[in-house]
């Protein structure tokens, strides 16, 4: 299991990066990304700290650790500029908080994130077939999530991704210790979303490729 969408005390998570990393390693994760909620008010504050924590902790763990942000509830027209700014500040993973059935995210967020070429569009349950096709074209990965509420859109995301060829990943959107899951549970999340065994394995492979790319490993 590789989890590329988690939160720490730097936004609305319950754990310091060190404890989140330790708990993830104990349950056998291969890699983890700290991706705290960010907008124009805190991007330059939290990202350098998460990058420093990931770099230091990576030297003391067998798992790989990365840092990025989840751009959250930004007006759609600001997503592209702030995704670019996050990358300029060193973000290894750029996630955007997608249009979910359980939050009032601004319409147009999914499309703006895809057009910006972010790494992962998180829990995008309100996504359209046309947006899925564009995600496939631009290589933006769509998230199948283990998080309650947001997971209501998993079946739609899985079905449209299969129809359009869009890539998928499985993440937790973890905010608390109880949200972390191991490989077995992650597999179940994918299967219950309607994916086949092979499609679940492809989700895991997509995450590995993204981690390698973020760390500069040739893939």
pLDDT band at 17 (very low <50, low <70, confident <90, very high): very high
- Please give the average per-residue pLDDT across 172-177, as a whole number: 98
As a CATH number, domain 2-214 is: 3.20.20.140
pLDDT digits (tens, 9 = 90+) for 135-155: 999 999 999 999 999 999 999
pLDDT band at 217 (very low <50, low <70, confident <90, very high): confident
Q: Are 124 and 98 in contact (CB under 8 A)?
A: yes
In this predicted structure, what is the pLDDT of residue 218?
Answer: 56
- CA-based nearest residue to 153, from 98, 95, 96, 101: 101
In this predicted structure, what is the pLDDT of residue 132?
Answer: 98
Q: Are 205 and 24 in contact (CB under 8 A)?
A: no
In this predicted structure, what is the pLDDT of residue 165?
Answer: 98
pLDDT band at 56 (very low <50, low <70, confident <90, very high): very high
pLDDT digits (tens, 9 = 90+) for 122-137: 999 999 999 999 999 9
- Please give the average per-residue pLDDT across 27-45, as a whole number: 98
- CA-based nearest residue to 169, from 146, 137, 150: 146
Does an H or E element contain 31, and which?
A: strand 31-38
In this predicted structure, what is the pLDDT of residue 77?
Answer: 98
Each domain of the chain, given as residue ranges in start order, spans 2-214
pLDDT digits (tens, 9 = 90+) for 72-104: 999 999 999 999 999 999 999 999 999 999 999
DSSP string, 78-119: HHHHHHHHHHHTT-SEEEEE---TTS-PPTTHHHHHHHHT-S
């Amino acid at each position: 299991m590789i989890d590329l969408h988690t939160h720490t005390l730097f936004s609305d998570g319950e754990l310091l990066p060190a404890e989140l990393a330790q708990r993830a390693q104990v349950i056998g994760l291969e890699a983890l990304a700290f991706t705290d909620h960010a907008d124009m008010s805190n991007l330059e504050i939290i990202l350098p700290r998460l990058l420093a924590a990931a770099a230091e902790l990576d030297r003391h763990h067998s798992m790989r650790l990365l840092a990025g942000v989840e751009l959250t509830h930004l007006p759609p027209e600001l997503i592209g500029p702030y995704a670019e700014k996050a990358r300029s500040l060193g973000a290894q993973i750029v996630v955007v908080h997608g249009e979910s059935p359980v939050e009032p995210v601004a319409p147009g967020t999914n499309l703006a994130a895809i057009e910006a070429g972010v790494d992962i569009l998180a829990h995008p349950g309100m996504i359209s077939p046309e947006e899925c096709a564009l995600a496939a074209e631009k290589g933006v990965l769509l998230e199948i999530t283990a998080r309650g509420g947001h997971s209501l859109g998993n079946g739609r995301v899985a079905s449209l991704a299969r129809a359009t060829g869009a890539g998928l990943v499985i993440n937790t959107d973890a905010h608390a210790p109880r949200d972390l899951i191991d490989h077995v549970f992650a597999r179940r999340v994918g299967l219950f979303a309607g994916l086949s065994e092979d499609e679940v394995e492809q989700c895991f492979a997509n995450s590995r490729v993204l981690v390698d790319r973020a760390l500069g490993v040739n893939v």
